[in-house]
Amino acid sequence: MERSGSNVQMPFKLHTAAMHKAQDPHFSERVRASFARQEAMTLIGAVMPVVEPGYTEIHLPFKPEITQQHGFVHGGVVGMIADSAAGYAASTLTTAETEVLTVEYKLNLLAPADGQLLIAEGSVVRYGRTLIVTRAEVFAVKNGKKTACALLQQTIMSIHGKKEPAVKT
Residues 88-127 that bind a second copy (CB under 8 A): 101-111, 123-127
Nearest approach, Cβ of residue 123 and a second copy (Å): 7
DSSP three-state, residue 41: helix
Interaction of residue 157 with a second copy, rule CB under 8 A: yes
> How big is the CA angle at 44 (ends 41 and 35), to the nearest 5 degrees?
10
Query: Of 22-30, 129-137, 138-146, which segment contacts a second copy by CB under 8 A?
Result: 129-137
H/E run at residue 91: helix 75-91
Nearest approach, Cβ of residue 144 and a second copy (Å): 21
Burial label, 99 (beta-carbon count in 10 A; 0-12, 13-18, 19+) = middle
Which member of 26, 29, 37, 116 binds a second copy (CB under 8 A)?
Answer: 37
Query: Of 22-30, 138-146, 151-159, which segment contacts a second copy by CB under 8 A?
Result: 151-159
28 vs 153, beta carbon nearer a second copy: 153
H/E run at residue 155: strand 145-159
CA-based max dimension of the chain = 50
Nearest approach, Cβ of residue 108 and a second copy (Å): 4
Which member of 25, 129, 145, 161 binds a second copy (CB under 8 A)?
Answer: 129
In whole angstroms, give the CA distance from residue 127 to residue 122. Answer: 14
**Per-residue contact string for residues 61-80; x = within reach of a second copy by CB under 8 A:** ---xxxxxxxx-xxxxx-xx
Nearest approach, Cβ of residue 152 and a second copy (Å): 8
Q: How many CA atoms lie within 13 A of 116 on its CB side?
A: 4
